[in-house]
Amino acid sequence: MKIYNSLSRQIEEIVPIKEGQVGMYTCGPTVYSTVTIGNWRTYVLADWLVRALQYLGLEVSYVMNITDVGHLTGDNLGDADTGEDRLEKAAKRERKTAWQVAQAYTDEFLEGFAELNLSKPMVFCKATDHIREQIELIKRIEEKGFAYRISDGVYFDVKAFEAAGSKYGELSNLTEIKEGARVEVNPEKRDKRDFALWKFSPKNEKRDMEWESPWGVGFPGWHIECSAMGMKYLGEQFDIHVGGEDLRSTHHPNEIAQSEASTGKGPFVKYWVHGAFLLVDGGRMGKSLGNAYGLNDLRGKDFGAMDLKYFYLSGHYRKQLNFTWEALKAASEARDRLVRMLSGYKKGSERTNLREDKLKKINDYREKFLHAIGDDLNMPEALAVVWEVVKSNVADYDKYDLILEFDEVLGLDLRKSVEGLSEEQAPEELTKMLEKRNRLREEKKWEEADAVREKIEKQGWKVEDDGEESRLVRRR
């Protein structure tokens, strides 16, 4: 399969370092608040990629980290070495310890992860569980002459790295960030691009999270965790690294520099995959704007995690996608329709002996689907193939099998939804009300019909009209 590699800026065929096996790492959440539908878009991208590779018969060793220390607020302004630690800040806000904050949001994240039916990594690694590995890595970088110490911490020396013949910031797409932050540069730094490997705890302040180190008590810089844990679980060089597009300018170039400086080998990672951001109502999503929605906000409006996942399928991962409640509703309706069609296929048909021409047709759809996912994960096109199958004259049973096979990549857990649907028969009383409402409509008594529908909806069910037919669907 082919994927756009941000490093080469080209669409490339994925050729794993070890034949048949792929090592893949995704930058996970910073657990200081609820994971947003923007973050989830990036994790769903990683999920599609894992599933697509597995569908193609590759074995995937998948790792995702959980950032629970060291990600400072200055990151928003272009300098991740300044500002407050997000975890410590949240702890003050919530009157808890940073450890409690991390635990609560990690639990919430893992619940959402399961709800979205995302491929489970072989390990979710926490930064705070790998302090020793991070210290060891910084020691190696220092021994090789690529680190120096100033009053607030130990920094990576970009100029020394370049002087040794390496390139810094190849991945970056923002020259202004490459050249320096938008905030005032720490005058002790040798170069504007240098970044913290280890930060000292502020004097006269006891942090919740701090550790002894050869340089002094403190905590790791944000970038070092991903190098240390990526190399620990996947080796000094591995295949794929995924993250949101914001990480392309500094976090990922810094990961590359640290890793390659310590091992003397390159490339640290062969393919860098970046997902474009999710917008909300055409603009930026932000906590201060009140639109940084999480799965809970969706639930409050009767939408489930799978509706969101179906919505993500509507856009290519390298294009920004605009979230609106209307678009989510449209996605939810389309998904419901698909589940109902599948449920009908399951009930209504028997497996047939496929004639040559039918078999060829099924294989053509399979080829088309494979082509879509292999073409830089073109999920909107892959979804279109699903609907082509629905509309085709392929036998129902085979439609069912084929679409469930495609779902191995889409990850919508369609089988579960179909099973859930057949279990959910509306109570007789409501069925009678629906019949009454339909009669009233036939008599063109619209207002009375609507009043009955509203009564039905108050009982937790929804009336859905599909041409001549109408049915009751449980509201989530």
Question: Which of 247/295 has CB closer to ligand AMP?
Answer: 247
Choices 23-31, 343-351, 362-370, 382-390; region in contact with ligand AMP by CB under 6 A: 23-31
**From the list ligand AMP, Zn ion, none, partner contacted by residue 226 (C-beta under 5 to 8 A by kind):** Zn ion
125 known ligand binder: no
Residue 250 interacts with ligand AMP (CB under 6 A)? no
Binding residue for ligand AMP (CB under 6 A) from 124, 211, 277, 325? 277
- Binding interface with Zn ion (CB under 5 A): 27, 226
399 known ligand binder: no
Fill in the per-residue mask, 128 to 157: x = in contact with ligand AMP (CB under 6 A), - = not in contact. ------------------------------
Cα 129 to Cα 28: distance, rounded to the nearest angstrom: 15
Question: Which of 228/247 has CB closer to ligand AMP?
Answer: 247
Half-sphere exposure of 123 (CA within 13 A, CB side): 14
192 known ligand binder: no
Q: Rounded to the nearest 5°, which phi and psi values hold at 412?
A: -85, 0
* Residues written for the chain: 476
**From the list ligand AMP, Zn ion, none, partner contacted by residue 39 (C-beta under 5 to 8 A by kind):** ligand AMP
Q: How far is the CB of 57 from ligand AMP (least distance, A)?
A: 28
Residue 221 interacts with ligand AMP (CB under 6 A)? no
Binding residue for ligand AMP (CB under 6 A) from 169, 220, 243, 374? 243
**From the list Zn ion, ligand AMP, none, partner contacted by residue 244 (C-beta under 5 to 8 A by kind):** ligand AMP
Q: How far is the CB of 42 from Zn ion (least distance, A)?
A: 11
Binding residue for ligand AMP (CB under 6 A) from 116, 125, 247, 373? 247
Question: Which of 30/343 has CB closer to ligand AMP?
Answer: 30
Residue 130 has what DSSP assignment?
Answer: G
Amino acid at 83: G
251 known ligand binder: yes
Of 12, 35, 25, nearest to 251 by C-alpha is 25
From residue 194, how far is each of 79, 145, 233, 255, 337 by CA, in Å?
A: 10, 14, 26, 12, 53
Binding residue for ligand AMP (CB under 6 A) from 5, 30, 65, 417? 30
CA dihedral 256, 261, 265, 267 (to 10 degrees): 10
Residues 58 and 173 sit within 8 Å (Cβ to Cβ): no
Report the chain's C-alpha Rg in angstroms: 26
CB-based contacts of 118, cutoff 8 Å, min separation 6: 43, 44, 46, 47, 411
Cα 44 to Cα 313: distance, rounded to the nearest angstrom: 10
Q: How far is the CB of 215 from ligand AMP (least distance, A)?
A: 25
Half-sphere exposure of 61 (CA within 13 A, CB side): 16
Place of tokens 């057949």: 422
**From the list ligand AMP, Zn ion, none, partner contacted by residue 137 (C-beta under 5 to 8 A by kind):** none
Question: Which of 194/225 has CB closer to ligand AMP?
Answer: 225
∠12-18-21 over CA atoms, to 5°? 85
Residue 244 interacts with ligand AMP (CB under 6 A)? yes
Residue 34 interacts with ligand AMP (CB under 6 A)? no
Residue 246 interacts with ligand AMP (CB under 6 A)? yes
The bridge status of strand 469-474 relative to strand 461-466 is: antiparallel
255 known ligand binder: yes
Residues 339 and 306 sit within 8 Å (Cβ to Cβ): no
Cα 403 to Cα 415: distance, rounded to the nearest angstrom: 10
Which residues line the annotated binding site for Zn(2+)? 27, 226, 251, 255
- List interacting residues with ligand AMP (CB under 6 A): 27, 29-30, 38-39, 41-42, 67, 243-244, 246-247, 275, 277-278, 285
